[in-house]
Structure formats: structure tokens, C-alpha cells
Amino acid sequence: MQTKDLLDLANEFGNPLYVYDAEKIEFQYKRLTNAFSKVEKLRINYAMKALSNISVLKLLNNLGSGLDTVSIQEVQLGLHAGFTPDKIIFTPNGVSFEEIEEVAALGVQINIDNLSVLEHFGTKHPKVPVCIRINPHVMAGGNENISVGHIDSKFGISIYQIPHILRIVENTKMHINGIHMHTGSDILDIEVFLYAAEILFDAAKQFKDLDFLDFGSGFKVPYKKDDIETNIEELGKKLTKRFLAFEKEYGRELTLAFEPGKFLVSEAGYFLAKVNVIKQTTSTVFAGIDSGFNHLIRPMFYGSQHAIENISNPKGKERFYTVVGYICETDTFANNRRIAEIHEGDILCFKNAGAYCFSMASNYNSRFKPAEVLWKNGKGHLIREREKFEDLLQNQIMIEI
């Protein structure tokens, strides 16, 4: 997308505004499938918690993607967007047993990460195929807040508890058809990921009737200039070779599955916000925008860095700004960041706004959630209307006091 396109969209649809580039999503999807093109049965399950707009889901469904879900509501959205139950995997954590049963009744693949739940489900539904989520106790991510492979993680069944899993399987006669792992987001070192893969391969040998191995995702994307990213092409070569060898050792053809979220949609997203005020203090120049962490919480929640460009004055002389929001809390997007000179009324563009941005938005301070637009075939398509006052009142009941 060009800067002019983004400015035109801000003028047409208002701001703040989320924009997603369909071509970039398609490019990332094909990049991943090409990296593993030598695998006969490859399954990409998009982790929809990253961005769950039904038009984005439909786009990915048309590309041939499956869906990774973590709630019954995500499953229902996926079905609404056109995914068939056999293309959806349900990988919850800490949900009720009733929710797992409700999803299983829809024909969706169940993935269980708790010994007690596994035994309960196997006892009650022994004929329903189940995937097991293993915690390999390997941290492949670079941020402890988004790593889920450490030994104290609430996710997964410890690799050291395989004997317990086997006992449950033997006692219940349940069918284990998949093994799954996820080490965390922002994988920096491919060799660490491959090391964790070996642990999954070893675990898989304990189960004789598997249909697939799911290696999760967490592939890192660049958030700033010269940033490190996961080398998908190198990972594809190395893991493909090892996977094909394991298939021969295992004695049957298996599906290789991944669950990318951020990798597919992060770089496709742009968040546009208008500058309300420029405020000079004794030591800082603040650029206050018509948004806050109610719309984009990642910088405050994770310490994440999003590149910020002044698309109204892209060639202006750079100055240092602290970009803040209009929420009645500390809501800082960037501290002392070099940005082309900003004036009130300018439009700032936040890059990498496709993953975990709108999906984590709220109505804090009773602010409206932004609109969403999908840029496809050179045109912006409104895929979520901007909220109105009536939306804030929906489901509220004013009683007589």
C-alpha cells in the first residue's frame, strides 16, 4: 500500500482506523506454504485470536487455511465465516469441560492440555479423536510475557508426564490422533525451535495412531528497521528434512501443521490516528492522538514497539516526540521517537497493527472502537463499522432506582 492510499482511507472512513492489506496476508501465507512445499500433507491453521474479523477469516479460508481457535465463540465465528468443522482445531486453556464438549459436538478437532481433563474426556467420549498439547519446556521466544514453553507455564502437559498420558490412554481406550506444542511468540533461534521439535518427535513415537503433528508457531516478524525475524525459508528446509525422515521411521504419512497468527497478519495491518494536540513541557514534546491503549494496548501491555510515521508530512524534518493517547491513564505509544515534524491534524500511521491490536481493543473511558477496512484489489472495503453511542448501551439495563 502507498502512503496516499492510507491518507485517502482516513479521509473516506475517518479515524482512528484499522486497515489490513489483503495482498500482504496472501504473500505471507504463500511464503509459508512454499517453505514447506516438499511436505505432502501441510496444514496451516490460522490463529484467529490475532485478528478475528470475519472478512479476514473468509480471505484465509479462500487461501486454503484451517483455523486455530481458543474459545467456543471463535469456533462459531469460524463456522460463520465458512470454515468447515474438520478445518478447525480447538486449543483452549482453563475452559470448562462443558465448553470442550460443546465444541467436540460440532465436529471440531479437540486439543487438550490438562491431565485431569484428558482423563475425564477420554472416559466420557473415548471414540472422539483428541490431540494432546505437550509442554516441551523449551523457550523459543524472546519475551517472557509471550513465552509459553517454560516449566511453570499454565499451557500444555509436561513432557515429563508422558507416562501419565499413556496410562490414561490405556485405561480409557481413547483415540489420540495428534501431538501439539507451542513454545511461545517471537522465535529468534531456529535451532532452539528444531530442538523442541525433536522433543515432539520423541513424544510422538509413544502414540501409534497419529494423523498429524502440530508445531504451533510464534514466528517473529520485523517491527522496526533491521529487526530480526524468523527465517521461514531456512526453517522450512531443515524441519522438512527432519519431518520426512520421521514419517519413514513412524511408518505412515502424517500431516505437518502450524498455527501462525502474527506471521500472517501483523505486517498487513496499519493503524491510523489523528493528532489532536502538540504539547511542549519542560523536557518533552507530546503528540496527543485521538486514540489510546483502548485501541492499541500492545505498547503498554507488552512493551511492544510499533514503527510510527507521519503520513501527512512524510518528508518533514525529524524531531523527537512522545506519542500519547487520550485515555485518562498513562497511555504512551512511544517515548522520544524520531518522527517527521508533526502538526495538529496530521495522521500518524502505526505499522504492524494487524495482530493482537483490534482484537484486544476495549471501550475503556466509554470510547468507541475503531472501524476496520480491508484493502483489496486497490480498493478499501469497510469490514467493521465504527461504533456509535447506541453500541455502548447495548446489553445494559437501566433499572428504576
Which amino acid is residue 287, in one-letter code? Answer: A
Task: Check residue 140 and give its pLDDT.
Answer: 55
User: pTM to 2 decimals?
Assistant: 0.93
Residues 6+ apart with CB under 8 A from 147: 139, 140, 141, 153, 183, 184, 185
* Residue bearing cell 479423536: 129
* Structure-block grid coordinates of residue 268: 498487513
Give the confidence band of 150 by pLDDT, cuts at 50, 70, 90: very low
Q: Is 363 within a domain?
A: yes
Task: Check residue 1 and give its pLDDT.
Answer: 85
356 appears as a binding residue in the annotation: yes
Task: Check residue 128 and give its pLDDT.
Answer: 97
Whether residues 62 and 48 fall in one domain:
yes
Mean pLDDT of 76-100: 97
Q: Is 135 within a domain?
A: yes
Whether residues 179 and 40 fall in one domain:
yes
SS3 content of the chain, % helix, strand, coil (to 5): 35, 25, 40
pLDDT reading at 358 higher than 60: yes
What confidence tens digit (pLDDT) does each residue in 155-204 have? Answer: 889 999 999 999 999 999 999 999 999 876 566 678 888 998 999 999 99
Last residue of a domain, one of 265, 292, 313: 265
pLDDT reading at 230 higher than 90: no
Last residue of a domain, one of 226, 246, 265: 265
* Residue 207 to residue 347: CA distance in whole angstroms: 55
To 5 degrees, how large is the angle CA 52–CA 58–CA 59? 100
Could you tell me the residue range of the domain that residue 243 belongs to? 22-265
298 appears as a binding residue in the annotation: yes
Q: Give one DSSP letter per residue of 262-327, joined into a string.
A: HHHHTTTEEEEEEEEEEEE-SS-EEEEES--TTT--HHHHH-----EEETTSTTSPEEEEEEE-SS
Whether residues 351 and 238 fall in one domain:
no
Residue 40 has, within 13 A of its CA and on its CB side, a CA count of 8
Whether residues 260 and 273 fall in one domain:
no
* Mean pLDDT lowest among 25-34, 145-154, 250-259, 295-304: 145-154
Whether residues 274 and 260 fall in one domain:
no
29 appears as a binding residue in the annotation: no
Residue 251, helix vs strand vs coil: coil
Task: Check residue 154 and give its pLDDT.
Answer: 83
Q: Is 293 within a domain?
A: yes
Strand partners, 109: 89
Average predicted confidence (pLDDT) for the chain: 93
Give the confidence band of 255 by pLDDT, cuts at 50, 70, 90: very high
Q: Is 395 within a domain?
A: no
Mean pLDDT of 28-47: 97
* Residue bearing cell 522496526: 224
Whether residues 118 and 74 fall in one domain:
yes
The answer to whether residue 349 is catalytic is: no
Q: Is 17 within a domain?
A: no
Task: Check residue 149 and give its pLDDT.
Answer: 44
Whether residues 216 and 80 fall in one domain:
yes
Whether residues 251 and 279 fall in one domain:
no
**Given 131, 328, 349, 357, the catalytic residue:** 328
318 appears as a binding residue in the annotation: no
Which amino acid is residue 203, in one-letter code? Answer: A
- Count of domains observed in the chain: 2
Task: Check residue 242 and give its pLDDT.
Answer: 96
Q: Does 126 sit behind a cis peptide bond, omega within 30 degrees of 0 on the bond before it? A: no
Whether residues 254 and 382 fall in one domain:
no
Q: Which of 258, 94, 265 is nearest to 183 (CA)?
A: 258
326 appears as a binding residue in the annotation: no
* Residue 208 to residue 354: CA distance in whole angstroms: 39
* Residue 78 to residue 67: CA distance in whole angstroms: 7
Q: Which of 235, 208, 193 is nearest to 35 (CA)?
A: 235
